[in-house]
Structure 1
């Protein structure tokens, strides 16, 4: 397929090749060859005719730009393709040419071809997800106990562990890989219904032929023609969109943590990566940028697919054609985001010291809730909350650490001092201790994710 220079910036050459004009046309010819062979096996057409048809079902034999141009006039690429296939077969065997595309219809060949190339696209996504999940899992294991600020509403909240944050990035990707496989199992099905979905021309041979064609192409046999029943197909598209949204969330967090004022993470640099044409000091998060740009485009394509579902009667007018055009961009964006984030996480720089410095710069304020909860056991929740509220204001105005102010307050009150374990109180302000609950949760999550990843890695559902 042809993409603009700006489209190509946000995707990969591999995914462009999957939906390339030649790839789609080749898949259409694979359908026609399988149809002829299946009909011959069922005794519907002579075996010699099937061989003659299959022998010229090769995309390289045809002028693909001319087919596309003719398809615009005909309203369907399948019409000139079948015409040229019939003409080519007739050059060698006029009798065989009578059996080309017999009992099928234009939507059968195009939908089945799109299923075939989509299976290849899903393999690329699955491989990319496996790679990115591996990077995140390793980082999470390495940083299970690394303290880092958790932020809510874009503000510092409490101390968590970077491993816990990574597990939160990893889990949606494992779920997406699982969900894509489940949706693909239903959606990657043969389309073969003939003119109105009844296979009436093939009579009692329709179902056996469909079974044979599906087997030859490595596809599931559909319960019935799905010419205008697009639910399973669109659900697959929605899973791709959800995946891209999850990648956008990951890229958002990465870019925020890579800001110069935060500097807890940094994408790989060097060889011109992330540079600026004007500012030599800059280290731009280009992987995050590509993933974010790709994810921003996805909702519109997903919405368009949903808008195309109201297809009229037994053949859509305009909406099926629009759906075909909206389908590839979903995969182009998803794979572009995946590739970009794989590049980033393969060489991600994690600055533990900066994470600790950012926690320390808040002078203990992120431990205020923990301290308040602890003191509530001694003086009750209302008094503890009021005490910490007043002290946090002093931290802001005086710049003194909260733990020091709290210790001074307790030591100045003999009754309170007798009820408080100052050593235990001090641990509440220790980043490593504060990150411990997150570390335990992350460890448990990663064990479950490791098990699910192993199950996914053990199977190859997109191989025909």
Structure 2
């Protein structure tokens, strides 16, 4: 992983898709294949045991395998060659049965499925931590009034819990959708030369079932060498998750701006500092998530562009898919880990949230006032009158409430006017919506 990729991701996900790890996953397939074929009598049991004994990554030079793959056209070809040579050196008879009836794509695709299962476990663990931290923030600050903003401008008053619910809901949906896609996408790839397992005769299906069971993977009805829909559905859902993480990061970074000051990421110990300005508290977790969210759409597009694979084996497009797949997961885990770490120590300044509401001279309550006056003088006239009052408030820097002429609607009492300009009251609908959502989520496992 290059240094610019590395600081945007995690060491753990780098290891999952590292050279040694992928070589081991390919060898896991070869070991499972040999044992399955030994179980059904397709190869001698002694040969199967001997093959499996050598399927350990430390016996091979992963860098050499990768280097040789450039001319071989597949990672599997040089690895199978080296495995065959190693087994044959110990048992010539066993060496004849290495990779019996399989093909390179079976090895590589299944290895990627196994690696992806590990990657999803990492992503899910950090996603759960992020969701848990958002819930904790809701419990601590959910009722705090805060400005809603539309088109980057102050709009109305909502609650911070409403924003937290808007961040949490897509994450919960993504977790569910990824789980559903994984149930289908994490499946064995095993078809032999053209997907028929013909080299194993009638025993092919039995071998496939045993390999799938040994590796803990779903057994598909046939090989999916050039049928990439279920696999890419999983990738697309991971990409959507990363997009949702980017939305959260965008909101956090905007709310953390010094002029706004409603949120702050954890700092100290070199985190979020500046090489030139000692006062800086940069939102570095948001930075990582935004960088990932900006790159992932191209990854997903690359996956989709590689779907038109020729006949029974793709030429170049399958290989492109493999490379994009790794980048997708590397970026997404970097994003979810960064936000999970930040959420655990996120500073919420409810006092500043209130101050940002107050400094707008009551203009964010204009719609509520307009709706109330519309009952007496009609919607169009109410809108016109309040628009004039609002322009005066802006021009003269006076509170909108002080400009309200109660004679426009004699039924509007001073007490009712006060209520229309009460931030806590204005936040109540948002508080109720957030409460329903978080209460509902609390009744089922995340």
TM-score normalised by the shorter chain: which range applies? over 0.9
Partner of 1:214: 212
Contact 2:148 2:158 in 1 (8 A): yes
CA–CA distance in structure 2, aligned partners of residues 5 and 178 of structure 1: 33
Contact 1:180 1:236 in 2 (8 A): yes
* Equivalenced residues, count: 446
Q: How far apart are residue 389 of structure 1 and its match?
A: 1.0
Instruction: Identify which of 402, 417, 422 aligns with 1:430.
Output: 422
Aligned positions of 1:357-368 closer than 5 A: 357-368=355-366
Which deviates more, 336-345 or 429-438?
Answer: 336-345
Partner of 1:416: 409
Contact 1:142 1:163 in 2 (8 A): no
CA–CA distance in structure 1, aligned partners of residues 442 and 314 of structure 2: 44
Give the secondary structure class of the aligned counterpart of 1:160. Answer: strand
CA–CA distance in structure 2, aligned partners of residues 344 and 83 of structure 1: 47
CA–CA distance in structure 2, aligned partners of residues 55 and 134 of structure 1: 43
Which consecutive unaligned segments of at least 5 residues does structure 1 have? 457-464
Instruction: Identify which of 311, 334, 346 aligns with 2:332.
Output: 334
Q: How far apart are residue 100 of structure 1 and its match?
A: 0.8
Give the secondary structure class of the aligned counterpart of 1:424. Answer: helix
CA–CA distance in structure 2, aligned partners of residues 96 and 397 of structure 1: 89
Instruction: Identify which of 437, 442, 446 aligns with 1:445.
Output: 437
CA–CA distance in structure 2, aligned partners of residues 64 and 288 of structure 1: 35
Q: How far apart are residue 426 of structure 1 and its match?
A: 1.1
Contact 1:171 1:449 in 2 (8 A): no
Q: How far apart are residue 339 of structure 1 and its match?
A: 1.2
Contact 2:143 2:160 in 1 (8 A): yes
CA–CA distance in structure 1, aligned partners of residues 309 and 131 of structure 2: 38
CA–CA distance in structure 2, aligned partners of residues 156 and 416 of structure 1: 27
Partner of 1:241: 239
CA–CA distance in structure 1, aligned partners of residues 56 and 443 of structure 2: 43
Partner of 2:191: 193
CA–CA distance in structure 1, aligned partners of residues 413 and 208 of structure 2: 77
Give the secondary structure class of the aligned counterpart of 1:269. Answer: coil
Q: How far apart are residue 92 of structure 1 and its match?
A: 1.6
Aligned positions of 1:48-447 closer than 5 A: 48-406=46-404, 409-410=405-406, 413=407, 416-417=409-410, 419-447=411-439
CA–CA distance in structure 2, aligned partners of residues 290 and 451 of structure 1: 32
Give the secondary structure class of the aligned counterpart of 1:22. Answer: helix
CA–CA distance in structure 1, aligned partners of residues 75 and 378 of structure 2: 76
Which deviates more, 67-76 or 14-23?
Answer: 67-76
Contact 1:267 1:347 in 2 (8 A): yes
Q: How far apart are residue 355 of structure 1 and its match?
A: 0.5
Give the secondary structure class of the aligned counterpart of 1:223. Answer: coil
Q: How far apart are residue 144 of structure 1 and its match?
A: 2.1
CA–CA distance in structure 1, aligned partners of residues 423 and 357 of structure 2: 8
So what's the TM-score if we normalise by structure 2?
0.99
Q: How far apart are residue 382 of structure 1 and its match?
A: 2.0
1:396-443 Cα distance to aligned partner (Å, 9 max, x none): 11111111111xx11xx2x732x1132122111111100010000000
1:141-185 Cα distance to aligned partner (Å, 9 max, x none): 222210000000000000000000001000001111111111110
Q: How far apart are residue 385 of structure 1 and its match?
A: 1.4
RMSD of aligned C-alpha atoms?
Answer: 0.9
**Post-superposition, which runs of at least 4 consecutive aligned residues in structure 1 deviate over 4 A?**
none
CA–CA distance in structure 1, aligned partners of residues 442 and 330 of structure 2: 28
Which consecutive unaligned segments of at least 5 residues does structure 2 have? none
Give the secondary structure class of the aligned counterpart of 2:424. Answer: helix
Contact 2:37 2:43 in 1 (8 A): yes
Contact 2:302 2:324 in 1 (8 A): yes
1:218-244 Cα distance to aligned partner (Å, 9 max, x none): 000011100000011111111111111
Contact 2:30 2:107 in 1 (8 A): yes
Which deviates more, 314-323 or 88-97?
Answer: 88-97
Contact 2:20 2:62 in 1 (8 A): yes
CA–CA distance in structure 1, aligned partners of residues 287 and 18 of structure 2: 25
Contact 1:252 1:288 in 2 (8 A): yes
